[in-house]
Amino acid sequence: MKRKIIKLKNKIISEIKRIKKDHLIKKYIKNNVLFLTFVITCVANSTILRFFTMHTLENYLAFKPILADVSIMVVVGSFGYLLKPKNRFGYYLFFDILFSTICMINSIYYTFYTSFASVSMLSLTQYITTVGDAVVENVLQIKDLIYILGPISLIIVHLKLKKNSYYKKVEVKSERKKRTLKTLSVGAGLVLLFVVTLSSLDISRFAKQWNREYIVMRFGIFIYQANDIFTSLQPKINSLFGYDNAMKNFKEYYKDKEDRQTNKYTDIFKDKNVLVIHAESMQVNLFNKSFNGVDITPNLKRIASEGMFFSNFYSQVSVGTSSDSELTYNTSLMPTQSGTAFVSYFDRKFNATPQYMNDLGYYTFVMHANNADFWNRRSMYNSLGYKKFYSKENYNVTEDNTIGLGLSDKEFFKQSIPKIKKIDEKNDKWYGLMIMLTNHTPFSDVEKYGEFDLSSKTTITNEEGIEEEVTYPFLEGRKLGNYYKSAHYADQALGELFTELDQNGLLDNTVVIIYGDHDARISRKEYDYEANYDKTTGTKLDKEDPNYKEYDTYQYELGRKVPFIIWTKDMKGTNLNMEVTDVMGMYDVMPTLGNMLGFYNEYQLGHDIFNIKSDNIVVFPNSNWVTNDIYYNSQKGEYYSINGEAISEEKIKENNTYASKLLNVSNNIIVFDLLKKLQEENEVFKNSNEGS
């Protein structure tokens, strides 16, 4: 009996404690509604952002970023208690709008770049108007507006509280300080708990800020953004204080670099004219695609078969897209870790191909029928050494001859021929770059691309037993289909260009070089649709279907190859007419062409592909890399065996170290203007020796 009474007593006490606890919780919620609404809406927005962008199970189950976001919001929110109740709403609304805006900007940015935004890109906002339609059509989506629900929810709660006279209660200053300290202590405790959960790998990648997805997945969007501000300012700070260390690492990196090597291709194109074609958004996977018996790129396919075709070639762009491609092509350097070289570092000294060609007696020029200041090209081309820039002001651009972002490629080439002919008449030899524009996202001027049927035609037997042809839409009207139509138009323009050049005698002593600046940035979902379209039913296969083949991440990444072709009129059938299958990057172009044309850059990052061959490694700005055998994804810390063979962990570590050093050295060369500083050091040393 006594035991039962004790048991009942304990039960009653437990129930009383529970009631008290519930009462305290309710009381806390009632007295802190605005603060809690602020925390919940901001954390909800950041969680929604991660769910809408990174579609992985690891991300969906991630607890760390939620803990990080909650701790930050509690810390920020705690200072609201220092204000009088009637002033707190303004404080919380300001930060709710700020954090919601961060989420919205990153949501839009991720759609286009498959990465998170950097404040260093703020300097590029002046270019948004030029590609405004592309942004609206290709990027802005309904999901990007969901983040405004956070501030709206806070406003609704505020109006209800105001109606219930919530703000009329009086709080003495000491009480406000006490509430601030208590809340701040909770926030500090949550921060400490979050820090304890971090691994050494988390901290290492946080410091580098290269793997943005990884950082957001571990630290949340708000800590990432704060770290990004610091990282974006770091180049400015480092250029003032970190020079000595940067120069030391630079000299050590190139200390053991081999001197210029020759091979059987050395000087084979010396003194020939050179015409380089920057093929906007052109990919290698277009070459072997046809619809209803018509190739997408018959001209490029033919040119590749007649010339020297590098079929395993990758662009290495970052946020600067086409401008990054031009930088790496011309200098064998990588894009900068923050901002873009064309905008932020255009006044640096570069060892660039046009400068070397000038030294060899060439007249150098570039043609692009766009605004001369877009991507700051007018200034950057001076730094690269081009003698003449033919921009939009040198072309007749009308509404009728415009497609997409500007002058159509066919009209651009047509108006450029007389200019090149005049250059050829006045100069013994010339080196020119022509930048195409039509095949630029969003690929929406479909009616101007000409006829190219992407539908699927199949024969079925109807109920009467009679065979009849049925047409399904397949890729008609889809983003990928529009890209194929745009690429087909661009290929036609290239075909017409070659015909016009030949008719004007401009191919007789000319080497033509074609490179794709970057992939088309079409989503993996589009390629998955194409791969699993059932042409007999006109529908996409379900994932449960045994014939379904998912177009996975590695297929997508490896499928982003772009063309690189070296062609001359008389190359077909010679020993130069070949396909080079060894992996190659944009930074390998300058060393490879330099050997053929007769110049050498001792501070190039890439290699002459014919010297390095199968040992080559292509490093990407986000520190991913690829070889003939391996594709490594640094964001996920995963690698894929291309040939299905076992991969040594030592090889992974070795290549990771190589990639890290290369990216750091490249960034330092540009940020600290090391080539100029080295030149100045050498001149001082030379003068001192002459004086002695």
Q: Please indicate, yes or no, whether residues 175 and 253 belong to a single structural domain of this protein.
A: no
Note the pLDDT of residue 2. Answer: 54
pLDDT level of residue 372 (50, 70, 90 thresholds) = confident
Once rounded to an integer, what is the mean pLDDT over residues 279-295? 97
Domain holding 218, by residue range, is 32-226
114 burial via Cβ count (<10 Å: 0-12, 13-18, 19+): middle
In a domain, 243, yes or no: no
**Any idea what the Cα angle at residue 673 is, between residues 122 and 351, rounded to 5°?**
105
The two tokens of residue 342 are: 């064309």
The two tokens of residue 209 are: 């800020």
Q: Please indicate, yes or no, whether residues 460 and 566 belong to a single structural domain of this protein.
A: yes
Q: Please indicate, yes or no, whether residues 188 and 269 belong to a single structural domain of this protein.
A: no
Note the pLDDT of residue 286. Answer: 97
Q: Which residues contact 420 (CB under 8 A, 6 or more apart)?
A: 275, 430, 432, 501, 506
Between CA 382 and CA 358 the distance in angstroms is: 12
Note the pLDDT of residue 190. Answer: 94
Note the pLDDT of residue 465. Answer: 78
Q: Please indicate, yes or no, whether residues 125 and 204 belong to a single structural domain of this protein.
A: yes
pLDDT higher than threshold 60 for residue 239: yes
Q: Which residues contact 131 (CB under 8 A, 6 or more apart)?
A: 405, 440
Q: 233 or 508: whose pLDDT is higher? A: 508
Once rounded to an integer, what is the mean pLDDT over residues 249-262? 89
pLDDT higher than threshold 80 for residue 168: no
- Omega before 442 cis (within 30°)? yes
CB atoms within 10 A of CB 471: 13
The per-residue pLDDT of the chain, averaged, comes to 89
pLDDT higher than threshold 60 for residue 423: yes
Once rounded to an integer, what is the mean pLDDT over residues 184-207? 88
Q: b/e string for 579-601 if b means 16 or more Cβ within 10 A?
A: ebebbbbbbbbbbbbbbbbbbbb
Once rounded to an integer, what is the mean pLDDT over residues 370-389? 92
Q: Please indicate, yes or no, whether residues 220 and 290 belong to a single structural domain of this protein.
A: no
pLDDT higher than threshold 60 for residue 68: yes
In a domain, 490, yes or no: yes
Q: Please indicate, yes or no, whether residues 257 and 222 belong to a single structural domain of this protein.
A: no
The pair phi, psi for residue 442, each rounded to 5°, is: -100, 10
Residue 33 near residue 157 (C-beta atoms within 8 A)? yes
In a domain, 305, yes or no: yes
Note the pLDDT of residue 7. Answer: 62
In a domain, 1, yes or no: no
Once rounded to an integer, what is the mean pLDDT over residues 79-93? 91
* Weakest mean pLDDT among 66-75, 207-216, 364-373, 433-442: 207-216
Between CA 267 and CA 229 the distance in angstroms is: 47
Between CA 431 and CA 330 the distance in angstroms is: 12
pLDDT higher than threshold 60 for residue 137: no
The two tokens of residue 465 are: 């037993």
The residue among 387, 528, 641 whose CA lies nearest residue 55 is: 528
**Portion of the chain with pLDDT greater than 70, in percent:** 90
pLDDT, tens digit, 9 for 90 and up, residues 381-391: 999 999 999 99
pLDDT higher than threshold 70 for residue 127: no
Note the pLDDT of residue 315. Answer: 98
* Weakest mean pLDDT among 177-186, 457-466, 618-627, 681-690: 681-690
Q: Please indicate, yes or no, whether residues 606 and 459 belong to a single structural domain of this protein.
A: yes
Q: Please indicate, yes or no, whether residues 435 and 498 belong to a single structural domain of this protein.
A: yes
Q: Please indicate, yes or no, whether residues 222 and 337 belong to a single structural domain of this protein.
A: no
CB atoms within 10 A of CB 120: 22
The domain spanning residue 497 has which CATH number? Answer: 3.40.720.10
Specify the number of domains making up the chain.
Answer: 2
Helix (H, G, I), strand (E, B) or coil at 510: strand
DSSP code string of 173-206: HHHHHHHHHHHHHHHHHHHHHHHHT--HHHHHHH
Q: 211 or 480: whose pLDDT is higher? A: 480
pLDDT level of residue 112 (50, 70, 90 thresholds) = low
Q: Please indicate, yes or no, whether residues 196 and 259 belong to a single structural domain of this protein.
A: no
Which residue, 177, 193, 226, sits at the end of a domain? Answer: 226
In a domain, 6, yes or no: no
pLDDT higher than threshold 90 for residue 410: yes
Q: 389 or 165: whose pLDDT is higher? A: 389
The residue among 240, 246, 245, 211 whose CA lies nearest residue 227 is: 211
In a domain, 25, yes or no: no
pLDDT higher than threshold 90 for residue 581: yes
Could you say which DSSP state residue 334 is in? P
pLDDT higher than threshold 90 for residue 597: yes
Q: Please indicate, yes or no, whether residues 262 and 307 belong to a single structural domain of this protein.
A: yes
Note the pLDDT of residue 72. Answer: 95
Note the pLDDT of residue 138. Answer: 53
Note the pLDDT of residue 121. Answer: 56
Residue 284 near residue 564 (C-beta atoms within 8 A)? no
Between CA 310 and CA 582 the distance in angstroms is: 8
In a domain, 273, yes or no: yes
pLDDT higher than threshold 60 for residue 246: yes
Helix (H, G, I), strand (E, B) or coil at 567: strand
Note the pLDDT of residue 161. Answer: 87
Q: Please indicate, yes or no, whether residues 254 and 222 belong to a single structural domain of this protein.
A: no
Residue 217 near residue 65 (C-beta atoms within 8 A)? yes
pLDDT higher than threshold 60 for residue 8: no
In a domain, 20, yes or no: no
Amino acid residing at 624 = N
Between CA 294 and CA 457 the distance in angstroms is: 14
